[in-house]
């Protein structure tokens, strides 16, 4: 009987349980809006991918670009990401007939709720831009690009 019990113990194997992998959290690389080139380039590539999505309307894509920036970790972004989001959003919104405007040339077929969300997202990004500008953290080129984008949004 002891031999049978020993054989049973030998044939019974237990599979080790592997712990579930936790989502790897990245430590902050820098202070908010001061990320080095690598992480900020990755954020810019995500912004471009969202802007070029062809499955949604232009104003939706424009809002999605701004949302992508606002959802990104600020420690992985720098002023170039803010300027990139604003210029991409402005270009896409211009394709929709002005995005935030109402009236004949302003895309009157866009629902008011969607237009209001776009305006809220734009205001949030402009608040970040204002802070960065006040702190003197934009280069002259970035400032010019941001001014162009803001003007394009206001058309």
The mean pLDDT value of the chain amounts to 83
35 φ/ψ sector (left φ>0, alpha ψ -120 to 50, else beta):
beta
Q: Report yes or no on 7 lying in a domain.
A: no
Terminal-to-terminal C-alpha distance of the chain: 91
Q: Report yes or no on 108 lying in a domain.
A: no
Q: Is the pLDDT of residue 139 over 90?
A: yes
Q: Report yes or no on 132 lying in a domain.
A: yes
pLDDT reported for residue 43:
96
Q: What percent of the chain has pLDDT over 70?
A: 72
Q: Which helix (H) or strand (E) holds 153?
A: helix 140-154
Residue 31 to residue 116: CA distance in whole angstroms: 31
Q: Report yes or no on 3 lying in a domain.
A: no
Q: Report yes or no on 149 lying in a domain.
A: yes
pLDDT digits (tens, 9 = 90+) for 96-138: 665 444 433 345 567 889 899 999 999 999 999 999 999 999 9
Runs of H (alpha helix) within 12-78: 37-51, 58-71
Number of domain units in the chain: 1
Q: Report yes or no on 57 lying in a domain.
A: yes
Residue 72 to residue 49: CA distance in whole angstroms: 14
Name the more confident of 30 and 76.
76
pLDDT digits (tens, 9 = 90+) for 19-43: 565 555 656 567 899 999 999 999 9
Q: Report yes or no on 2 lying in a domain.
A: no
What does pTM read for this prediction? 0.74
Range of the structural domain that residue 77 is part of: 37-95+113-154
97 φ/ψ sector (left φ>0, alpha ψ -120 to 50, else beta):
left
Name the more confident of 84 and 11.
84
Q: How many CB atoms lie within 10 A of CB 48?
A: 14
Query: Helix, strand, or coil here: 42?
Result: helix
pLDDT reported for residue 16:
55
Residue 83 to residue 152: CA distance in whole angstroms: 13
pLDDT digits (tens, 9 = 90+) for 52-67: 987 778 889 999 999 9
Q: Report yes or no on 19 lying in a domain.
A: no
Closest CA to 33 of 121, 123, 125, 122: 125
pLDDT reported for residue 53:
85
Q: Is the pLDDT of residue 70 over 70?
A: yes
């Amino acid at each position: 009987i002891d031999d049978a019990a020993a054989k049973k113990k030998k044939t019974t194997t237990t599979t080790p349980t592997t712990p579930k992998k936790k989502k790897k959290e990245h430590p902050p690389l820098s202070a908010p809006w001061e990320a080095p080139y690598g992480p900020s380039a990755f954020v810019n590539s995500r912004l471009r991918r969202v802007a070029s999505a062809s499955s949604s309307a232009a104003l939706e894509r424009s809002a999605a670009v701004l949302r992508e920036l606002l959802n990104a970790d600020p420690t992985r972004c720098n002023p170039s990401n803010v300027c990139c989001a604003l210029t991409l959003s402005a270009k896409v919104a211009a394709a929709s007939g002005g995005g935030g405007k109402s009236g004949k040339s302003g895309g009157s077929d866009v629902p008011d709720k969607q237009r209001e969300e776009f305006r809220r997202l734009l205001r949030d990004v402009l608040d970040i831009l204002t802070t960065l500008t006040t702190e003197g953290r934009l280069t002259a080129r970035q400032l010019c690009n941001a001014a162009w984008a803001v003007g394009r949004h206001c058309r």
